[in-house]
Amino acid sequence: MPDLDAIVKAYDIRGTVPDQLDTQAAHALGVAFAKFSNAKLIVVAHDMRPSGPDLANAFQTGITQQGVDVINLGLASTDMLYFAS
């Protein structure tokens, strides 16, 4: 699994796919996000890059495995994600 310390920044998560960020890392981030957010519902979306759907699905799986509901917007802009959440 990639080094999460290398991709988790102060305000976001950034890394090159698949060297720094892959589905395994996205899944782990989903688990952690669900645990630490204490949310009952999390909205997920992805951008137009080819890796987006797989990473979003892995992130969503990590979230739902923690018992948190997910609304997956699919392909969406940042503004759309903000509005939906």
In the predicted structure, residue 12 carries a pLDDT above the cut 80: yes
Q: Please compute the mean of the pLDDT values over residues 7-25 and round it to a whole number.
A: 93
Our CA dihedral for 73, 76, 79, 82, rounded to 10 degrees, sits at 20
| CATH superfamily of the domain spanning 4-84 | Alpha-D-Glucose-1,6-Bisphosphate, subunit A, domain 3 (3.40.120.10)
- Which pLDDT does position 4 carry in this prediction? 84
pLDDT digits (tens, 9 = 90+) for 64-78: 999 999 999 999 999
Scored b (16 or more CB within 10 A) or e, 25-47 reads bbbbbbbebbeeeeeeebbbbbe
Domain ranges for the chain: 4-84
In the predicted structure, residue 83 carries a pLDDT above the cut 90: yes
For the chain, how far is it from start to end, CA to CA, in angstroms?
29
What DSSP state is assigned to residue 13?
B
pLDDT digits (tens, 9 = 90+) for 21-60: 999 999 999 999 999 999 999 999 999 999 999 999 999 9
